[in-house]
Amino acid sequence: MALPKVYNWQLGREMDYRFANGPAKRQFAAVFNTNRCIACQTCTMACKSTWTFSPGQELMWWNNVETKPYGGYPAHWDVNILELQEKANPGGQVWDATKKDPKNAPYGTFAGKTIFETADGLTNMVTGYLPPEEDWKAPNIYEDTATAFSKTGVSLPEHAGWFFYLQRICNHCSYPACLAACPRNAIYKRAEDGIVLIDQSRCRGYRKCVEACPYKKSMYRPSTRTSEKCIACYPRVEGTDPLTKGLPMETRCMTACIGKIRLQGLVSVDANGQWFEDRQNPLYYLVQVAKVALPLYPQFGTQPNVYYIPPRWAPRDYLRQMFGPGVDDAIAAYTNPSRETLGVLQLFRATQKIIFSYKIQPGPKTGEINVAGKVRELFNDTVIGFDSNGNEIVRVTVDEPLIERPAQVTMNTI
């Protein structure tokens, strides 16, 4: 049976998928800056204490932060799926970085096969595996474990001994593997925001979604015998949280982030999940203009909607496997950011409300620095963020204001 063809802009080509184009008009999306994460797990606990504190959810961590390269939740999830794909298409899982197009193939073209294309399309819609219960039991194994210590020391731009933190939630994929695999059609993608949800009344706990999701973000709950997953805190995104008085609000894991590494929002998309031009949307700017943030394992083919600014000092081969061929340009754009990029990066965690657009007011020159042999001028620009109605909701400067306490000492009464 021939499957419908859909366009995957992250792969720069058409691909097979169980359903013709998705219904979403707006898409939940986020950018995570791996360079800033301190693995405090505040995000993890914010999600846990909100959504997964009940019986049967003990092994469920809809948000988790793992240490790469050894850590993973469930254990070795990415190595396992990469190996399955390599076995199905030996030596063929490669990119053609020469076939590039700024809009339709910004990272080049993936010449290998997606998880939909290595499946037979009859008995299995998706190549995947069901992790054994053991693999879910240690959500933070290998925490802070680096690769081999180097006696000769380290030198830039890559460290010989390295690790970094990878923050993970459901990607609310444009072509969700969980949805394609469900024999009950219990999984759906909402038109208004692209959030992927499991209808608990339809789910019978066959776990085909758990098997199919390459990111392993659909999880089985034995107490209800159904599968559950990250719901993108949809009441907040809808604006029904009383705190923002009807305005769309970022999720629990985003707003709790101590390291200010996360920015989440909504972008306008067409039927392929391709982003309509929206130059002043901060996510559009970071992903489509500055190209400083990249999808996680785009070669799986689900067109994930969480984007990562890659870590600066980890080996490039490893990062290219994880984030695709855009890694070198993304790291260059982050290491020596343009004035606009530096401005937009200030919006991370500046407000709980979703920022739909921004404006930069030029400020005075404050100095010069030398980064990797390049002299860069610094300016104290002001960045202003606007809500869905175009009203100002946040204003930050590139230089953090210095506030001096008054000389008079006030005793702490706690």
Pairwise CA distance, residues 309 & 163, whole Å: 15
Name which position in 232, 266, 331, 355 contacts ligand SF4 (CB under 6 A). 232
Is residue 217 close enough to count as binding ligand SF4 by CB under 6 A?
yes
**Closer CB to ligand SF4, residue 232 or residue 342?**
232
Q: Name which of 24 and 253 has its Cβ closer to ligand SF4.
A: 253
C-alpha distances out from residue 152 to 123, 127, 183, Å = 53, 42, 55
Task: Pick the stretch among 90-98, 133-141, 155-163, 254-262 that binds ligand SF4 (CB under 6 A).
Answer: 254-262
Distance CA 16, CA 301 (A): 9
Which lies closer to ligand SF4 via its Cβ, residue 65 or residue 247?
Answer: 65
Is the CB of 47 or the CB of 283 nearer to ligand SF4? 47
From CA 274, how far away is CA 268, in angstroms rounded?
A: 8
Residue 346 beta carbon to ligand SF4: minimum distance, rounded to whole angstroms: 16
Residue with smaller CB distance to ligand SF4, 13 or 217: 217
- Output DSSP code: residue 16: E
Chain residues 7-66 in contact with ligand SF4, contact rule CB under 6 A? 37-43, 46-47, 51, 62-63, 65
Nearer to ligand SF4, 212 or 287 (CB): 212
For residues 51 and 60, what is the distance between their CA atoms, to the nearest angstrom? Answer: 10
- In three-state secondary structure terms, 109 is strand
Q: Is 252 in the site for ligand SF4 (CB under 6 A)?
A: yes
DSSP string computed for 244-281 = GTTS-B--HHHHT-TT--EEEEEEEB-TTSPBPP-TTS
Q: Residues 177-206 vs ligand SF4: string with x where CB under 6 A? A: xx-----------------x----------
Query: In terms of CB distance, is 207 or 229 closer to ligand SF4?
Result: 229
Which range of residues in 67-75, 79-87, 259-267, 277-285 is near ligand SF4 by CB under 6 A?
Answer: 259-267
215 part of the interface to ligand SF4, by CB under 6 A? yes
Instruction: Please state the closest distance from residue 210 (CB atom) to ligand SF4, in A.
Output: 9
**Minimum Å distance from CB 414 to ligand SF4?**
25
Query: b/e per residue, 309-322, with b = 16+ CB within 10 A?
Result: bbbbebbeebbbeb
Element (H, E) at 384: strand 382-386
- Binding ligand SF4 (rule: CB under 6 A), the pick from 10, 93, 114, 251 is 251
Minimum gap (Å) between residue 32 Cβ and ligand SF4:
7
Out of 71, 259, 273, 311, the residue judged to bind ligand SF4 by CB under 6 A = 259
Structure tokens at 387: 């809500």
Residue 102 makes CB contacts below 8 A (sequence gap 6+) with none
CA distance 286 to 154: 30
User: Nearest-CA neighbor of 357 among 397, 398, 388, 396?
Assistant: 388
Residue 223 beta carbon to ligand SF4: minimum distance, rounded to whole angstroms: 19
**Site map (CB under 6 A) of ligand SF4, residues 293-322, x = contact:** ---------x--------------------
Regarding 213 and contact with ligand SF4 (CB under 6 A), the answer is yes
Rounded distance between C-alpha atoms, residue 276 and residue 107, angstroms: 18
Encode 267-292: b = buried (16+ Cβ within 10 Å), e = exposed.
bebeebbbbeeeeebbbbbbbbbbbb
Length of the chain: 414
Contacts with ligand SF4 by CB under 6 A: the residue count is 42
Q: Using the rule CB under 6 A, which residue among 176, 282, 311, 343 binds ligand SF4?
A: 176
Q: Is 261 in the site for ligand SF4 (CB under 6 A)?
A: yes
Residue ranges of alpha helices (H) inside 52-189 are 77-88, 177-181
Site string for ligand SF4, 145-174 (x = CB under 6 A): ----------------------x-xxxxx-
The DSSP 8-state label assigned to residue 400 in this structure reads: P
- Which residue number has the CB closest to ligand SF4? 259
Question: For residues 403 and 393, what is the distance between their CA atoms, to the nearest angstrom?
Answer: 22
Residue 18 or 381 having the CB closest to ligand SF4: 18
Interface residues with ligand SF4 (CB under 6 A)? 37-43, 46-47, 51, 62-63, 65, 167, 169-173, 176-178, 196, 213, 215, 217-218, 229-233, 251-253, 256-259, 261-262, 302
